[in-house]
């Protein structure tokens, strides 16, 4: 379990089981799959051929954290299922999930963060009572990596009557616009609106780039645009990380050998095909691009996650729902 975690938007991680099946481009370089293989668990693949691995006693950690939060009077956030997708269709996990939901329902001193790429399954997989009176301490979020998956998943998220609905826009693989009036209002409201639905829709947005040896770069303008949209909507914005790639404008005092590795990344989702491979027409990997600062191009350097950091234009954006101020 995650007594300590490097995931900046939570305090603890909790896993009732491990294993999953990739479903979209954001899954291409899955960190959980990589870690599972590193520890000798072959648990990534379809239900017909791959089992999931159930962990032992995760409720004990959750009970400890809940009692500690109650004693201290300070709520703690718990990201549930960082090593799987809680709402995956897999016969092996059906009873595990039901048991986990009943456990999580009881820990009311914690904010439980459920994040899924299968948001369309949620209303069929939670207790019927939740759809009438969703536990206020259970947050629900969905991952969106580009506009295509934002348009597919956000309408499903808005159907869920949770007190906190959130987006994890990580890895961000293309521009995402949350403002166009194309998403249905929550709870059969008056019609179509933005993803924010005038205070009744998405109320927290996490943004981050990809890390790891095969990381795909995130153009800085994509992150800035989402920041600006959240500020306009009055919605907390959390910039988790750059990932492995950082804009040349933020290289600062990094060593010259790092600065030498500059490539170009364009404000367009077209530099990446659906498998996550680089398209050389849009992403030349060798040599310097003439006039690279023009026409929406930016220079990016692969410096690794730790060096890249999590400042967006020199500012730390670490807001949470109900947060009143921004850390600078």
Beta bridge partners of 89: none
| Among 209, 184, 8, 229, CA closest to 113 | 8
| Among 187, 114, 177, 198, CA closest to 155 | 187
| Among 71, 93, 70, CA closest to 81 | 93
The residue that leads in pLDDT, 253 or 95, is 95
The number of distinct structural domains making up the chain is 1
Quick check: is 189 in a domain? yes
Quick check: is 297 in a domain? no
Quick: pLDDT tens for 90-143: 999 999 999 999 999 999 999 999 999 999 999 999 999 999 999 999 999 999
Quick: pLDDT tens for 2-35: 456 789 999 999 999 999 999 999 999 998 998 8
* Whether pLDDT at 207 is above 60: yes
Question: What's the rounded mean pLDDT across residues 228-240?
Answer: 96
* Whether pLDDT at 275 is above 70: no
* Whether pLDDT at 85 is above 90: yes
Beta bridge partners of 168: 143, 206
Quick check: is 34 in a domain? yes
Quick: pLDDT tens for 37-76: 888 888 999 999 999 999 988 888 889 999 999 999 999 9
Secondary structure class of 217 (helix, strand, coil): coil
* Whether pLDDT at 167 is above 90: yes
Q: What is the pLDDT of residue 289?
A: 40
Quick check: is 313 in a domain? no
The residue that leads in pLDDT, 256 or 275, is 256
Contact 196, 151 (CB under 8 A): no
Quick check: is 258 in a domain? no
The residue that leads in pLDDT, 277 or 251, is 251
* Whether pLDDT at 286 is above 70: no
Quick check: is 136 in a domain? yes
Q: Do the bridges between strand 138-143 and strand 165-169 make them parallel or antiparallel, or are there none, so unpaired? A: parallel
CATH number where 62 lies: 3.20.20
Quick check: is 255 in a domain? no
Secondary structure class of 79 (helix, strand, coil): strand
* Whether pLDDT at 246 is above 60: yes
Residue 201 belongs to domain spanning: 12-248
Interatomic CA distance for residues 257 and 202, integer angstroms: 42
Question: What's the rounded mean pLDDT across residues 175-192?
Answer: 90
Task: State the DSSP string of 5-54.
Answer: -S-TT-SEEE-SEEBB---SGGGTT-HHHHHHHHTT---BS-TTT---EE
Q: How confident is the model at residue 262 (pLDDT cuts 50, 70, 90)?
A: low
Query: Taken in order 206, 12, 244, 117, is the CA torsion positive or negative?
Result: negative
What's the mean pLDDT when you consider all of the chain?
85
Contact 177, 225 (CB under 8 A): yes
Question: Helices marked H in 147-292 — which ranges?
Answer: 147-157, 220-233, 256-259
Quick check: is 161 in a domain? yes
């Amino acid at each position: 379990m995650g007594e300590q975690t490097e995931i900046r938007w939570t305090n603890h991680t909790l896993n009732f089981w491990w294993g999953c099946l990739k479903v979209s481009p954001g899954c291409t370089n899955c960190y959980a799959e990589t870690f599972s293989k590193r520890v000798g668990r072959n648990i990534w693949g379809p239900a017909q051929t791959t089992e999931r691995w159930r962990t032992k006693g995760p409720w004990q950690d959750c009970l400890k954290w809940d009692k500690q939060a109650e004693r201290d009077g300070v709520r703690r956030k718990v990201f549930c299922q960082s090593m799987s997708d809680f709402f995956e269709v897999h016969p092996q996990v059906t009873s595990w999930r039901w048991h986990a939901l009943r456990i999580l329902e009881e820990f009311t001193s914690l904010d439980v963060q459920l994040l899924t790429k299968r948001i369309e399954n949620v209303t069929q997989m939670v207790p019927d009572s939740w759809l009438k009176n969703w536990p206020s301490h259970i947050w629900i979020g969905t991952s969106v990596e580009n506009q295509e998956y934002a348009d597919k998943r956000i309408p499903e998220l808005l159907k869920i009557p949770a007190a906190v609905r959130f987006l994890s826009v990580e890895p961000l693989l293309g521009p995402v616009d949350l403002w166009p009036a194309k998403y249905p209002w929550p709870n059969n409201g008056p019609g179509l609106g933005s993803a924010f639905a005038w205070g009744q829709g998405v109320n927290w947005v996490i943004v981050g780039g990809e890390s790891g040896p095969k990381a795909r770069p995130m153009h800085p303008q994509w992150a800035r645009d989402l920041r600006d949209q959240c500020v306009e909507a009055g919605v907390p914005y959390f910039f988790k990380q750059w990932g492995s790639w950082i804009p040349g404008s933020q290289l600062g005092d990094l060593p010259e050998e790092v600065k030498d590795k500059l490539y170009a990344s364009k404000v367009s989702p077209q530099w990446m095909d659906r498998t996550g491979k680089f398209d050389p027409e849009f992403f030349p990997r060798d040599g310097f691009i003439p006039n690279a600062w023009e026409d929406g191009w930016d220079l990016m350097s692969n410096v690794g996650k730790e060096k890249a950091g999590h400042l967006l234009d020199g500012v730390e954006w670490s807001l949470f729902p109900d947060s009143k101020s921004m850390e600078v």
